[in-house]
Chain A
Amino acid sequence: EDQVTQSPEALRLQEGESSSLNCSYTVSGLRGLFWYRQDPGKGPEFLFTLYSAGEEKEKERLKATLTKKESFLHITAPKPEDSATYLCAVQALGFGNEKLTFGTGTRLTIIP
């Protein structure tokens, strides 16, 4: 069974204080690893999909990296508007399989 574990559950940072969020996964065969941002009262907002170990993707202050066992979401010099819950999900290989298995998320708070 596919599993995703995110850590820490919650993280408070001062504005400008860089850090990383972790997503550890076990999957029979990885097709893709997804990162989402979710603001309170809203649906998840797509950020990145990573497909193979060593791949990196960037968007503004966010950079996602992938290894064979985990992914990191690096946040550089965060701003208060980066405060949100960040969700990680995996998609397994398999014909016709588009199911995403999610972790429980990391709740990030950036303090001005």
Chain B
Amino acid sequence: SAVISQKPSRDICQRGTSLTIQCQVDSQVTMMFWYRQQPGQSLTLIATANQGSEATYESGFVIDKFPISRPNLTFSTLTVSNMSPEDSSIYLCSVGTRETQYFGPGTRLLVL
């Protein structure tokens, strides 16, 4: 299985600011995803990070709010822009194949 790291592991931010979360994988992967896990709720896919092209966003998520970069096959970033308290959540990076998806440790974000 892939070893996935995320930075930062947690952060406390003020409303109106932006935070960029990094995801690093120890091997080249084709598929990379970003999920959100809100308190007491299930994981929800934000977008698929495509290498060399724009990310594919799920319904309810837009590029202006959650811009994503994927410069190579081992790295991606997710930015949470113009944050509000409703953005307080755990953000998770995931990689894998169609048969198996592995998750990073998550970034715990609190917006005040």
Tally inter-chain residue pairs, CB-CB below 8 A: 51
B73-112 interface code vs A (CB 8 A; 1 in, 0 out): 0000000000000000000100000111111111010000
Distance in angstroms between the alpha carbons of A98 and B102 in the assembled complex: 12
Q: B101 near A43 (CB under 8 angstroms)?
A: no
Q: Does B40 contact A (CB under 8 A)?
A: yes
- Contact for B105 among A4, A42, A98, A100, CB less than 8 A: A42
| Given A43-B92, A46-B1, A102 and B102 contact (CB-CB distance below 8 Å) | no
Nearest residue (CB) in B for A103 is: B42
B: contact size bracket: 20 to 34
A: contact size bracket: 20 to 34
List residues of chain B with CB within 8 A of the CB of A89.
Answer: 43
List residues of chain B with CB within 8 A of the CB of A45.
Answer: 103
Q: B41 near A104 (CB under 8 angstroms)?
A: yes
Q: A91 near B92 (CB under 8 angstroms)?
A: no
Q: Does B31 contact A (CB under 8 A)?
A: yes
Dominant secondary structure of chain A at its interface with chain B: strand
Q: B101 near A87 (CB under 8 angstroms)?
A: no
- Contact for A31 among B40, B41, B42, B98, CB less than 8 A: B98
Q: B45 near A100 (CB under 8 angstroms)?
A: yes
Q: A42 near B98 (CB under 8 angstroms)?
A: no
Jot down 14 A-B pairs with beta carbons below 8 A, ordered by A: A34-B101, A43-B104, A46-B103, A49-B99, A87-B42, A87-B43, A89-B43, A98-B101, A99-B33, A100-B43, A100-B101, A101-B45, A102-B42, A104-B40
A residues sitting closer than 8 Å to B (CB atoms) are: 4, 31-32, 34, 36, 41-46, 49, 87, 89, 91, 98-105
B residues sitting closer than 8 Å to A (CB atoms) are: 1, 4, 31, 33, 40-45, 48, 58, 92, 98-106, 108
